[in-house]
Structure 1
Amino acid sequence: MKPSLQLKLSQHLALTPQLQQSIRLLQLSTIELEHELEKYLLDNPLLERAEEYPSLGAQQSDTSGDGSPEPNTADEQRESSSPEDEGWLDGQVTSFGSFASPEDDDGDSDYQDVQAATVSLREHLLWQLGLMTIPDRDRVLVRCLVEALDDDGYLTLSLEELAEAMPAELDIDPEELQIALKHLQYFDPTGVGARSAQECLSLQLATLPADPTCTLAQEIVRHHLELLANHDFPKLRKQTGCDDETLRAAHFLICSLNPRPGAAYASPDTRYITPDVVVRKVRGQWLVNVNADAFPRLRINSLYAQILSRQRGSGLAGQLQEARWLIRNVQQRFDTILRVAQAIVERQRQFLDHGEVAMRPLVLREIAEVLGLHESTISRVTTQKYMATPRGIFELKYFFGSHVSTDAGGACSATAIRALIRQMISAEEPNKPLSDSQISEVLGQQGIVVARRTIAKYREALSIPPVNLRKSI
């Protein structure tokens, strides 16, 4: 076969470093973005933060149109400038036309920094131990019991196991630990040091004044707690011989107790959220703005830019290009977030006006088609990106959900159905709670066809117990 040369034309998608960076920044949360930018700022001397807010036109994004943002003056000026001019701009700052700064709305801020000093359960108990006048040996044993408590304040090991775990030379007897446990169980919070839920509740009831209600509550806690948990009130009345009124009072008293006394001293798993966009209603229109606190203000260092303008062959040229890429990609990230948020608000106006019951069905594909983006891009934008509204702070993906068909041929959002279920259950009669079948029938009368199993799934997602556990006396 004779060798020959052939010329072929083909197309393929190449992920340039700039595109890879853009995709990576888009999928980061606001906090993750800040951490990522700190790395760039440390590695690139040409990149720095602007100390002041950028001077921008007070242009807001109105979602009364097709959901796409209007062009802003800063963007037009940047597009008309040459790359060389952009590189040497003195104090170039990432700018954005739609900001919600903390000084908006007559100087009122919607967010406040709250700081609270917390004391651990161990510290609280040892502080009380230090105030007691007891023998040193008992003090050591109480301290050992405190160290053995779990986060809820329970002693999960038996006294025999604790005695065996201690050094043999101490010759600890379980009876000594029993005395130390009695000391511990007098501490605040009441119920600490219990070895079971029954003992925890019983310790709390023991501190209350003795009356028929408290006596019945003690009997139920010690011998019939499982019947109470199952709401088997007829059997409770039969075994305790009480009337409905006394049983109702004892039930209310037990429910007022705290089965996790140490939980109040547990270190909270604090999760801080900075909204990416803020939604406000101004003169009857819902406006979407980028949150200025979430938008990083970056610029090219003017000193290094001047050096590079005189020394074209400097080794900093590559870092200058990287800094320019980063500024553009950060700008593009928030531009995309704002466009998606505008499109969401345009389609979920009824939710903003009336709440969850007015949420309409929405899928990623719908927003992708409107904005001319891929569904994967919409998925990245809506994950770990948050919108602050008068109804609260929501992740953007919260506004998307499946739908259920209606008799009229339309569709109802699963979020709206869950809200309707919550409303019906909150308004039900305590002694005649609604079953899943009854809820399905009520929704069917409103034209919303939902199977009983679907109702059960939505109810469980709302952490609402089944009908037998919601029934009261």
Structure 2
Amino acid sequence: MKPSLQLKLSQHLALTPQLQQSIRLLQLSTLELEQELEKYLQENPLLERVEEEYAPLQPGPSDQDSESAADDNTGNDIETAVSSADDESWLGDEENNYSGSSSSGSFDDDDGDFQDVQVATTSLREHLSSQLGLISIPDRDHTLVQCLIEALDDDGYLTLSLEELAETLPAELEIELEELQIALNHLQCFDPTGVGARNAQECLALQLEALHGDDTSVLALKIVRKHLDLLASRDFIRLKKLVECDDVQLRDAQSLIRSLNPRPGSKYAALEARYITPDVVVRKIRGQWVVNVNSDAFPRLRINSLYAQILSRQRGSGLAGQLQEARWLIKNVQQRFDTILRVAQSIVDRQRQFFDHGEVAMRPLVLREIADILGLHESTISRVTTQKYMATPRGIFELKYFFGSHVATEAGGACSATAIRALIKQLIASEEQKTPLSDSQLSEILGQQGIVVARRTIAKYREGLSIPPVKLRRAF
């Protein structure tokens, strides 16, 4: 066969570096975006943050989505300025500094503010050691108590038995179990009451022993020491027979036990404070729910004026590639928040009843519905709604929270799973404690309201809400 040359034209999709960057920025959370931008700021001298006031990004439709970020129609201010570099007046022009955030991005006093999480400044071991220094005991006992303090976990429990603890101590000290028991008795007299216990039963007993010996505390101590398992399983009939009390006495003892702290050392634990910065803020303005980008979440970037001047005078400078990268990044960050804003506003428009009436009014919603409305791909909506948060008068929610499966109704419509969970929570909250509602009864009640839900589905939703079964909810 004679060799020959042939030309063939075909179309294929190519992910340009700019498009890849746009997709990557879109799927990052706010914290991850900040970390990514810090890396760009360190590597590219042409990029810098804007410190002065900036123009807010108002809600409205965008002509592009994240999958068409390669289009050069956005960010024309910067592009035009660089192409006409002979005119240096643009370098100080504030309009070239994109900072897409709403002036209403932060809550007013009426809406409340975000409180900082208070973290314990004194650890449990420091608190106990300070008390140890105030008591007068032999040095040997002092050392053993300190060893016990170091062996406690964050909840204040001694997880090792005295035998195991004795084996960890140097053999030449010849520590006897009686000495460790004496040291443990000293420790269990410290504040917080219940510290040094080896299990929850001993912890509760120590707290009850510290109370005045009235009839209720004596009965509660008897239950904790011998019948705590029956109380936990709510076997009240058998429990009353064993402790020989009536309903009123048992109810008072139960209330006292429930008031105790099974984790006495927890208030001294160093909690890790995790903050969520919402990407958008929802407010009701003139009767309409409006979404704006949160000013605290939007990074304000611009081209460094000094380096831009150098580049305008030296067109062959090696900074040309970094200038292009800076322009791409600024445009892609703008595109990211444009897309988030469009998706968030579309979600709010379709979940207006939720913002007016709460979870029970949540309607079924799937990613495809928002994708079709905005003309975006479903994968783009998935990226936008993952780890992106919306601050509302009802709390802060991930955008994915507003999507969910549906359950058919007798009228031929559909009810959101979120609304069903809210109804289950309401029904259980208002039930009679002596005769709580079973999963089958909950299914029947919802059926009477036209919502067809199987008993096993009710059980799944209830477990997802961390609500115990009917047996454990029953009071006496």
- State the TM-score bracket (shorter-chain normalisation): over 0.9
Match of 1:157 in 2: 160
Structure 1 CA distance for aligned equivalents of residues 451 and 110 of structure 2:
45
Residue 83 of structure 1 pairs with residue 79 of structure 2: yes
Residues 81/34 of structure 1: CA separation in 2 closer, same or farther (3 Å cut): closer
Label 1:14 to 1:38 Cα distance change in 2 as closer, same or farther (>3 A): same
Provide the rounded CA distance (Å) in 1 between the counterparts of 2:325 and 2:148. Answer: 58
How far off its partner does 1:446 sit?
0.1
Equivalences for residues 390-409 of structure 1 within 5 A: 390-409=393-412
Are the counterparts in 2 of residues 60 and 287 from structure 1 also a CA contact under 8 Å? no
Q: Given that residues 434 and 474 in structure 2 are in contact (C-alpha distance below 8 angstroms), is that contact kept between their aligned partners in structure 1?
A: yes
Of 87, 90, 95, the match for 2:99:
95
- Mapped to 2, the partners of 1:378 and 1:442 lie a distance apart of 36
C-alpha contact (below 8 Å) 1:61/1:70 kept by paired residues: no
Provide the residue aligned with 1:436 in structure 2.
439
| Residues 354-365 of structure 1: pairs in structure 2 closer than 5 A | 354-365=357-368
**Post-superposition offset of 1:253:** 0.8
Aligned residue number for residue 200 of structure 1: 203
Match of 1:24 in 2: 24
In the alignment, the residues of structure 2 paired with residue 81 and residue 243 of structure 1 have an alpha-carbon distance, to the nearest angstrom, of 81
Deviation larger for 133-142 or 244-253: 133-142
Q: Which runs of 5+ in 1 are unaligned?
A: 63-67
Cα gap change, 1:241 to 1:338, in 2 (>3 Å): same
The residue matched to 2:91 in structure 1 has which SS? coil
Q: Secondary structure at the match of 1:19?
A: helix
1:69 to partner: Cα distance: 5.4
Closer, same or farther in 2 for the Cα pair 1:266/1:112, shift >3 Å?
closer
Matched residue, 1:289: 292
How many Å apart are 1:110 and its aligned residue? 3.4
TM-score w.r.t. length of structure 2:
0.93
Pairwise CA distance, 1:100: 2.5
Q: Corresponding residue for 2:377?
A: 374
Q: For 1:366-415, what per-residue CA distance to the aligned partner results, in whole angstroms no more than 9, with x for missing partners?
A: 11111111111111111110000000010100101110000000000000
Could you report, residue by residue, the CA deviation over 1:56-75 in whole angstroms, capped at 9, with x for unpaired residues?
5xx7437xxxxx3599xxxx
**Structure 1 residue 275 and structure 2 residue 278: aligned?**
yes
Residue of structure 2 in register with 1:9 after alignment: 9
How many Å apart are 1:55 and its aligned residue? 3.2
Please tell me the residue identity of whatever aligns with 1:295.
F
2:116 paired with 1:118: no
Label 1:469 to 1:291 Cα distance change in 2 as closer, same or farther (>3 A): same
In structure 2, the residue corresponding to 1:217 is in which secondary structure?
Answer: helix
* Shift in Å, 1:32: 1.0
Paired residue for 1:220, among 208, 219, 223?
Answer: 223
Structure 2 residue matching 1:280: 3-state secondary structure: strand
After superposition, the Cα gap between the structure-2 partners of 1:168 and 1:342, relative to the gap in structure 1 and judged at 3 Å, is: same
Cα deviation, residue 101, structure 1: 4.2
- The reply on whether 1:388 has 2:391 as its aligned counterpart is yes
Cα RMSD, aligned residues only: 2.1
What is the CA distance between 1:96 and its match in structure 2?
Answer: 2.5
State the match for 1:323 in structure 2. Answer: 326
Per-residue deviation, residues 53-110 of structure 1 (Å, max 9, x unmatched): 3135xx7437xxxxx3599xxxx996665835246541531233744344x7589873
Aligned residue type for 1:61:
P
Aligned to 2:68: none
Q: Is the Cα–Cα contact under 8 Å of residues 53 and 297 in structure 1 kept in the other structure?
A: no
TM superposition outliers: structure 1 runs of 4+ over 6 Å = 106-109
8 A contact 2:29–2:388 mirrored in 1: yes
Tell me the equivalent position of 1:44. 44
Task: Assess, with a 3 A threshold, how the Cα gap between structure 1 residues 311 and 155 changes in structure 2: closer, same or farther.
Answer: same
Query: Deviation per CA, 1:322-371, whole angstroms, max 9, x where unpaired?
Result: 11111011001100100000000000100000000000011111111111
Secondary structure in structure 2 of the residue aligned to 1:90 = helix
Is the 1:78–1:86 Cα contact (8 Å) retained in structure 2? Answer: no
TM-score w.r.t. length of structure 1? 0.93
In 1, the alpha carbon distance for the partners of 2:385 and 2:161 equals: 49
Distance 1:224 1:193 in 2: 22
Paired amino acid for 2:469: P
SS in 1 for 2:257: helix
Report the CA distance shift for 1:288/1:163 in structure 2 as closer, same or farther (over 3 A).
same
Q: CA separation of 1:316/1:351 partners in 2, compared to 1, >3 Å: closer, same or farther?
A: same
Q: Distance in 1 between matches of 2:393 and 2:126?
A: 40
Aligned to 2:67: none
Q: Give the 3 Å change call, closer, same or farther, for CA 105–186 of structure 1 in structure 2.
A: closer
Structure 2: 5+ residue stretches without partners: 65-71
> Counterpart of 1:257 in 2: which secondary structure?
coil
2:420 and 2:80 map into 1 onto residues whose CA distance is: 56
Instruction: Report how many residues are paired.
Output: 462
Counterparts of 1:242 and 1:271, CA distance in 2: 47
- Secondary structure, in 3 states, of the residue corresponding to 2:283? strand
How far does residue 125 in structure 1 lie from its aligned partner after superposition?
A: 1.1
Residue 169 of structure 2 corresponds to 166
Correspondence for 1:422 = 425
Take 1:226 and 1:381, find their aligned partners in 2: how far apart are those partners?
A: 48
CA contact (8 A) 2:408 2:415 kept: yes
Partner of residue 65, structure 1:
none
What is the alpha-carbon distance in structure 1 between the residues aligned to residue 326 and residue 365 of structure 2? 38
Counterparts of 1:52 and 1:81, CA distance in 2: 18
2:55 corresponding residue in structure 1: 55
Instruction: Give the distance between the partners of 1:206 and 1:144, measured in 2 at CA.
Output: 25
Q: Distance in 1 between matches of 2:9 and 2:386?
A: 38
- Per-residue deviation, residues 301-327 of structure 1 (Å, max 9, x unmatched): 011101100000001111111111110
Shift of 1:239: 1.1
